[in-house]
Structures are given as C-alpha cells and as structure tokens.
Chain A
Amino acid sequence: MDILIQLIANGVLLGGVFALISIGLTLIFGIVRVVNFAHGELLMVGLYATWLLSAKLGIHPYLAAVPLAIAFFFLGALMQRAIIQPLMNADPHIQIFATVGIGTALANGALMIFSADLRSVDVPWARQATDLFGLASVSRGNLVAFAVSGIATTGLILFLRRTHLGRAIRAVAQNRYAAPLMGIDVNRIYAITFGIGAGCVGLAAAVLAPLYPAFPTVGSFFVLTAFVVVVLGGMGSLEGAVIGALIIGLVESLAGYYVAPDLKEVVYFLIFLGILIVRPAGLFGVRGAE
C-alpha cells in the first residue's frame, strides 16, 4: 500500500512536468495549426541557457524562470515571424520540414558548442526529499516543477477564457475567416501564440534544470512523450493536455514498478492506442475547439 501511494505521487509529479511542456505544443497546434517539431529542442536550448546562467553567472535557476519565459516568448514569436509565417499557406509537409529543420539545427548547434557532455545545474535544495503528509517522499525540485506547471496551466486557461486577447486567440482557431472581420490581426495572433508556447518551454526549462541535465538530444527525450500527451488529450485542448500528461505520468510510474522499467513505454503506448481506437480525436478533442 505504501509503495502504491509513493508511485502515484511520483506519477502525478511526473505528469505535472509533462503537462508544462505539452501545453505549449498543444496551444501552437490548436491555434496556428502547425506542428512544432522543434518544441523539444527549444526545451534543450532553455536547459543550456539555465545552466549557463547558473554555472557562469551564479543565477539561481528559479530566479531565471520568469526572465527566461519572457525571453522565450520573444524567441518563439520571432521564429514564427521569420520562418513559419512565410509558410503559413504552404503544404503541411513543408511546415514539418521547416520545424524539423529548426530542431535539427538547434540540436547540432548545441553539439558543436557544448559537446555531448551532460551539463547539470547543481541545486542541492531541489534534490532533497520532502515528506508528503507522511504518505510519500518526493524531491522538492519535483514539487516546485509541479506547482509551477499548475500555476502556468491555470493562468493560461484563464487568460484564454477571460481576456480580450485570449478570446481573440480562440476566435482565430475557431473561425479564421471571421476573425479579421472583428478587427483581429490574425498574423499577430499567430506570432503571439507561438511566443506563448515557447514561453511555456522557457519556464519549464528553468524549473526542470535542477532535475534533468542538459545535453544536445535531451529534447527528443521529452518531446515524444509530449506528442503522446497532446494527441491523447485531443490536439489543441489545454485541459486535455493536462489530463493526458497526468495519465502518462501515472502509467509510467506504475508500469515501471509493477510491469518492468523497460516496458513502461510499451504500457503507455498500449493505453494510448486503446484510447485512440475508442476516441480518435483524443479525450477532449473536438474539431476546431479551443
């Protein structure tokens, strides 16, 4: 029984980490209708940036979180304006080449600059375990990542529901033809959405840096899971991404113990396939929603 509670706690916390990475991906897909295959590499860049700030300038990763999120917002918006915008009316496979190309360039750029060595940000406080109501023991860094993920996701959902800009972003997703007739600058919305998606990654990088080392291909380690989460939740649905991330986190944690550590991915892909057979649009997927 004790071990079960511990596994559930680990799974939920892991799900929180996945959620933070996945909401940016699902937002970009839902609004801009472009699959950002460079999403994982943006996370990699963020992890290196956090490492540089911490190791070279002595800035605590948690202090770097908000500035990094803002910097990544502009990086994402710039990436959309410079590379994606000229391809907005191109075939989807051209857009895929572009984002895969950005990802490949970033990963190999990092390999050139930083070599393949692991770069860890050492934050002893984040590695220490803390007691959860005497039921389970988890690392403080994981708790911080989970809390940040919860705040960011809730904030983003409220932003989309309650603000003029948020409504305009959803309007563009729901009816691209009518949105400009309301006075909405659709291309500006695309850049802002890409910026928000990248900003989530910047935030994620800063809170994940104390837990995961930076290396050139760390992006692919996270992004495959993020894609599963996004499709499972329903592409474009933020709530779906959160639920999907928690499911994948729990399955990974439980299957890693009860089945076999090497088979945990097999188990979640089986569950993933099963859900897609029953609900092809994902758990919360509605065509055109969000």
Chain B
Amino acid sequence: MLRLEGLRAGYGPVTVLQDVSLEVNAGEVVTIVGGNGAGKTTTLRAICGLIKPQGGRITVDGRDTSRLAPPEIVDLGITMIPEGRQLFPFMTVRENLMLGGFKPAARARIPERLEEVLTLFPRVRERMTQLAGSLSGGEQQMVAIARGMMANPRLLMFDEPSLGLAPLIVKQVFQIIDTVVASGTTVLIVEQNIVHTLQIATRGYVLENGRVAMSGPGPELLRDPHVKRAYLGV
C-alpha cells in the first residue's frame, strides 16, 4: 500500500532522514522504533505531506505522492494521529470528531461513522459535550484516535501514542490500538516505547541516524541482542 524508497528529508538545510526505505502492506501493523532524533516523526511528516522530501520516493498504491499537500494525502485514506494529541481545545469532543471526518468523502457519512467509532470507544461517548481541552491526557489520546478514525482511513499512523501518559493509561492506549487493528485498519506506529509496539507489530523497522538499521517481524526484533542492548538496556 505504502512504500518509501531511499527517502531523504529534513527541515530547511538540515537533512534528518538520510536513506529510509520501508513498506506497509494492507492489513499489517508496522512499527518504526528508534531513539530520540532518529527521524521517526520526520518520516511520518514526510508521508503526510507536511514536509517535502529532499530525495527518494513515496508511493501509495504505486502513485508518487511526494509532492502532494496534506489534504490530498488525507483524501487518499492516510491519516496521522499527531504526537501530543493536538486536539482543538476550545471545541467540544463532538466537534473534534466531526472535524476528523472533514474530507469530502467522509463528510457525507459523518452520523453513521460517528456511531461506528463511538461503538469502538464507549468512553469517548460520555465526553461528547465537553471541551476537548478539559479532558485528561488519556481521554484526549482516545479522542485523538477516535478523531483519526472518523476519516475512515485505510492507513492510520500513530506518532508516539504513549508519550506523556501514565503507565496504566499507556496499557489502555495499546488496547485501543488493538481494537483499531481488529477493525481491519492498517496501522503504522512510531514509538519510543518499543516493548509494547514490537509485541503487537507484524513487522518493525529500527531507525538509527536517519537510516533503517534493522527490520523484521516485531517479536523477533525484540529478541535481537543489538535491540536489547541499545533500547532496553539489557
């Protein structure tokens, strides 16, 4: 579905991604793990069209999308749930969810989609009339995921979904991601919390200094001596 070939990207004169090649196939749960500054978020931003690649190719179903603007990427069925939730704080949860379904293809079926999404996230239903900014961090993360689901994406990308959340809440967030996966959505997760993610991932990529250092099935990577030493401190 999604394929990156020799992607080079960064900000202004700075190149963060030197050479990143990876692919995500329909139905997979793929994760990109790595330390701070390895280029995980930059990869997602380039896929979303938030930054333009300096080199290499990004293709979706064989079509080059490197030059497309973010709304066009969303129209193709690729939605990102940004790091730090990034809700619209002075709007109600309902309004946030409706904005999730803003793209023309989703707009027509907002009421039906809202029902489907709220069935997956019963906790969000209780908060519908509250301002998004007044929710707790964990609740905000659930709303952010529900908002992403509103676009009915083929590929849902999570940027550091566990960042800044208490361990108990992190567990809940991963349960929710399991629910999303079970609903048939293809998922790409970027995480520093590698134990949780590699356990649920069909495939994982380890990013180091803007390059793919290793890749393989998630649980296998978790047993790798280099990964254990570098990321788990054992």
Interface residues of A (CB under 8 A from B): 164, 167-168, 170-171, 174-175, 177-178, 180-185, 286, 288-290
Contact = CB atoms under 8 A, between A and B. Distances in A.
Contact of A167 (B49, B75, B87, B99): B99
Given A164-B102, A182-B99, A174 B90 contact: yes
Given A181-B80, A183-B103, A290 B88 contact: no
Q: Which of A167, A175, A286 is most buried by chain B, counting CB atoms within 10 A of its CB?
A: A175
B86 A183 contact: no
A181 B75 contact: no
Contacts of B74: 181-183
24 contacts: A164-B102, A167-B91, A167-B98, A171-B99, A174-B89, A174-B90, A175-B86, A178-B87, A178-B88, A180-B69, A180-B71, A181-B70, A181-B80, A181-B82, A181-B86, A183-B71, A183-B74, A183-B75, A183-B102, A183-B151, A185-B69, A185-B71, A288-B90, A289-B90
Interface string B73-97: 0110001101000111111000100
Contacts of B196: none
A175 B69 contact: no
A170 B82 contact: no
Interface of B: 48-50, 69-71, 74-75, 79-80, 82, 86-91, 95, 98-100, 102-103, 107, 147, 151
A167 B100 CA distance: 11
B193 to A, nearest CB: 22
A168 B102 contact: yes
Contacts of A174: 88-91
Contacts of B95: 167
A182 B100 contact: yes
The 8 closest A-B pairs by CB, nearest first: A183-B74, A183-B103, A180-B70, A178-B86, A174-B88, A183-B71, A182-B102, A289-B90
Given A167-B91, A170-B91, A174-B91, A184 B102 contact: yes
Contacts of B86: 175, 177-178, 181
B100 to A, nearest CB: 6
B177 to A, nearest CB: 18
Contacts of B147: 182
Nearest to B148: A181
A175 B147 CA distance: 14
Contacts of B90: 170, 174, 286, 288-290
A181 B69 CA distance: 10
A32 B70 CA distance: 19
Contacts of B80: 181
Contacts of B49: 180
Q: Which of B70, B99, B100 is most buried by chain A, counting CB atoms within 10 A of its CB?
A: B99
A182 B79 CA distance: 8
Contacts of B98: 164, 167
Nearest to B81: A181
A81 to B, nearest CB: 16
Contacts of A167: 91, 95, 98-99, 102
